[in-house]
């Protein structure tokens, strides 16, 4: 079992719709969670970070964390074609180590 | 705002050659991470440094070594290159090694081994 799991997709949504991306992690005591966006051949770009249970909103993006279920999600409202990319969920482990673990990423396609 | 700078952007080497990748973190960032990303794969953690000391080690081959210098820049040295080493290599930096310090990635070095 991978430490961080995502559905690889592709997830296809029409322009203007809400895209919902999901991620589960195996280390129950993980504390820090991040969503990165990566365009093909480019570097991962930080979108959101979340550390506490609940929702965190930033513009069109909302991250949701449920530590009891070991689940983190990203909602993208009013999806735009420019949102089409791979979204990587990343988790820092339980100890203060320098190791951020990525999921395999979900490819999002927003169709005009 | 200043970002993580990696050089070179592209590198072509032959099997069994050596390569050196360089990374300059964001100013005042003291932690550097190296990742390897093959085609269609997620970034794989190689190694990290905090305050010039190795912090954690991932799936880094013994043929690879890395260090962080006094000015906080880092170099990844790769020897006896193999075809399977062809990948994108990303460097990332963070302000501290804390769990609430997001990683900021450089543009990567695309290594092609022929």
pLDDT tens sequence across A89-102: 999 866 556 688 89
Q: How far is CA A50 from the centre of its chain?
A: 10
pLDDT at B99: 66
B50, B31 Cβ separation under 8 angstroms: yes
Query: Average pLDDT in the A40-59 region?
Result: 94
Bridging pattern class, strands B74-78 and B19-24? antiparallel
Closest in A44, A100, A103 to B45, CB measured: A100
Rounded CA separation B84/B8 (Å): 19
B99:A96 CB<8 A: yes
B50 lies within 8 A of chain A by CB: yes
Minimal C-alpha gap between A112 and chain B (Å)? 25
Minimal C-alpha gap between B37 and chain A (Å)? 10
Minimal C-alpha gap between B64 and chain A (Å)? 18
For the sheet containing A71-76, what is the strand order?
A4-6, A19-25, A71-76, A61-66, A54-58
The half-sphere exposure of A80 on its side-chain side, counting CA atoms within 13 A, is: 4
Query: Average pLDDT in the A14-29 region?
Result: 93
pLDDT at B56: 87
pLDDT tens sequence across B25-83: 999 899 999 999 999 899 999 999 999 999 888 989 999 999 999 999 999 999 999 99
pLDDT at A74: 98
Q: What is the mean pLDDT of chain A?
A: 92
Least confident range from A37-51, A63-77, A84-98, B84-98: namely A84-98
Closest in B49, B90, B97 to A96, CB measured: B97
pLDDT at A95: 58
Query: Average pLDDT in the A3-22 region?
Result: 94
A31:B41 CB<8 A: no
| Closest of B33, B61, B32, B29 to residue B45, by C-alpha | B33
Residue A76 reports pLDDT greater than 60: yes
Burial classification of residue B26, based on how many CB atoms lie within 10 Å of its CB (0-12 exposed, 13-18 middle, 19 or more buried): middle
B62 lies within 8 A of chain A by CB: no
């Amino acid at each position: 079992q991978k430490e961080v799991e995502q559905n690889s997709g592709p997830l296809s949504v029409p322009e203007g719709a809400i895209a919902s991306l999901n991620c589960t992690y195996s280390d129950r005591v993980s504390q820090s969670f991040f969503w990165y966006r990566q365009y093909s051949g480019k570097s991962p770009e930080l979108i959101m970070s979340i550390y506490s249970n609940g929702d965190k909103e930033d513009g069109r993006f909302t991250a949701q964390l449920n530590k009891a279920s070991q689940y983190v999600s990203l909602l993208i409202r009013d999806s735009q074609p420019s949102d089409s990319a791979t979204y990587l969920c990343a988790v820092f482990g339980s100890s203060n180590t320098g190791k951020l673990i990525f999921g395999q990423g979900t490819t999002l396609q927003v169709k005009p | 705002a200043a970002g993580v700078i990696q050089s070179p952007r592209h590198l072509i080497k032959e099997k069994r050659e050596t390569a050196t990748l360089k990374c300059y973190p964001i100013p005042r960032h003291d932690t550097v991470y190296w990742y390897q990303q093959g085609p269609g794969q997620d970034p794989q953690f190689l190694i990290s440094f905090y305050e010039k000391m190795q912090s954690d080690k991932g799936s880094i081959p013994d043929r690879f070594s890395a260090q962080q210098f006094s000015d906080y820049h880092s170099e990844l040295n790769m020897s006896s290159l193999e075809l399977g080493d062809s990948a994108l290599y990303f460097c990332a930096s963070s302000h501290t090694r804390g769990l609430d310090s997001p990683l900021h990635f450089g543009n990567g070095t695309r290594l092609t081994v022929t």
